[in-house]
Structure 1
Amino acid sequence: MLTYLGTALPRFTSPAARLLALQCALRADALGRVRLPAGLLRGMRLRANGELWLELAHAGWLELPDFRALPLQLRLLDAAVLDQAPGRRARCRAAHWALRPAPLALPAAAPALRLAALVLATHSPTEAEHSPDMDVLARLCGHSPQQTRELLDRLVTTGTLSAWQHNRVTDEVFWQLPQSQT
């Protein structure tokens, strides 16, 4: 779903709006209707941020919800999002996992860091080193390659990663999880 959203949403879409879009896409029913509990949005620190909703509405991706109604209800305008595999039950489990992506779950962190950790977690099989391209990583994180480098540095600073490296010849990014997380 991250890959799909990386191409479906405009490149300028912020990381916080991408996290919100991910939750909406994973929680949508077969008709594109989404119900988001207030607690979920508060926990993600996205409820009061109207700019994110406007960003996604301006991109033609969803209808603006009635912010007075709880739970928040909206409709996705991008019909292709509903065709994405896997099915609804697996998407619901993925929506819960996306809130705390093991092995790179971050406690309360900025949306940009949380999205970067989520992207890395989706590319983290059991081996210690991984190698997606920097351009792919940057697109999925909703940033430029330079900003993505800074995010990776911050993930090392927070202890979420023990190290990372960018091979400029192959454009691959390698990272290592701290020993306690492997």
Structure 2
Amino acid sequence: MLTYLGTALPRFTSPAARLLALQCALRTDACGQVRLPAGLLRGMRLRGSGELWRELAHAGWLQLPDFRALPLQLRLLDAAVLDQAPGRRARCRAAHWALHPAPLALPAAAPALRLTALVLAAHPPSQAEHGTEMDILASLCGHSPQQTGDILDRLVTTGTLEAWHLNRETDEVCWQLRQPQARTHACGRTRWRPDRAAFKEASST
């Protein structure tokens, strides 16, 4: 669904509008009708953000709802959203997970950080690392590659990511999730110790 939104919405649609569009796309019925409870919008810290709805309406993706009615009801205008797999039950589970995308949930962070963390969490790992092309990652996050790199740096600074780097020859971005801290038992043996030297941060590239 993130890939679908990356093509259905204008490239620089704001992260907050993309988060809102994702919930709408995952919660729509077979006729493109969506009901969003007020509690959901409050939890996303997006209640009363009329500019986000206007942003999506201007893109021709949805019809502006009646903001006086609760729960909020609206209609999606892009028929292609109904063709996205999987089915409705799996979409409902995905909608819930997208609000708390373990292991990178950032409910109190800015929308740009939350969306990037969600996109990263949606990528399965290849052994110890996760990765994709920078252009793809930037498109899903609604940023330029430079802005995406800056946000990845912030996720490292906040401890959400362990590190990330960009292969400038292949344009592939790889990142390493934050690992649990080493724990020492009473016997003094360490259960886990990260090999930080094996992974370089982007600032060294």
TM-score by length of 1: 0.97
Counterpart of 1:48?
Answer: 48
Kindly indicate whether the alpha-carbon contact (under 8 Å) linking 2:135 and 2:145 is maintained by their aligned counterparts in 1: yes
Alignment of 1:1-182 (within 5 A): 1-125=1-125, 127-180=127-180
Worse-matched range after superposition: 77-86 or 123-132: 123-132
CA RMSD in angstroms comes to: 1.4
Q: Deviations over 1:2-57 (max 9, x none)?
A: 00000000112111101000000000000000000101101111111111100100
Matches of 2:154 and 2:148, distance apart in 1: 10
Determine helix, strand or coil for the equivalent of 1:165.
strand
Give the partner amino acid of 1:3: T
Secondary structure of the residue that 2:170 maps to in structure 1? coil
Q: Deviations over 1:57-89 (max 9, x none)?
A: 001100001111111000000111011000011
Distance in structure 1 (CA, Å) of the matches to 2:124 and 2:113 = 16
Given residue 24 of structure 1, which amino acid in structure 2 is its aligned partner? C
Q: Per-residue deviation at 1:126?
A: 6.8
Q: Which has the higher helix share?
A: 1
Structure with larger Rg: 2
Identical positions, percent:
84
Displacement after TM superposition at 1:131 (Å): 2.0
| Counterpart for residue 189 of structure 2 | none
Distance 1:154 1:94 in 2: 26
Question: Within 2, Cα distance between the matches of 1:131 and 1:159?
Answer: 18
Q: Which amino acid aligns with 1:101?
A: P
User: What is the rounded CA distance, in whole Å, between the counterparts of 2:142 and 2:130 in structure 1?
Assistant: 20
Residues of 2 paired with 1:131 and 1:123: CA distance? 7
Secondary structure, in 3 states, of the residue corresponding to 1:180?
coil
Normalised TM-score (structure 2): 0.86
Where structure 1 has 5 or more consecutive residues not aligned to the other structure, the ranges are none
Q: What SS does structure 2 have at the residue aligned with 1:119?
A: helix
Give the whole-Å Cα distance in 2 for the aligned partners of 1:51 and 1:125.
Answer: 36
Question: Is there any run of 5+ residues in structure 2 with no aligned partner, and where?
Answer: 182-193, 195-205
* d(CA) in 2 for partners of 1:115, 1:107: 10
Q: Return the alpha-carbon distance in structure 2 between the equivalents of residues 72 and 57 of structure 1.
A: 15
Pick 1 or 2: higher relative contact order, CA cutoff 8 A, min separation 6: 1
Deviation at 1:114, TM superposition (A): 0.4
Alpha-carbon shift at residue 127 of structure 1 (Å): 3.1
Take 1:100 and 1:127, find their aligned partners in 2: how far apart are those partners? 23
Give the 3-state SS of the residue equivalent to 2:180 in structure 1.
helix
User: How far, CA to CA, are the matches of 1:173 and 1:123 in structure 2?
Assistant: 12
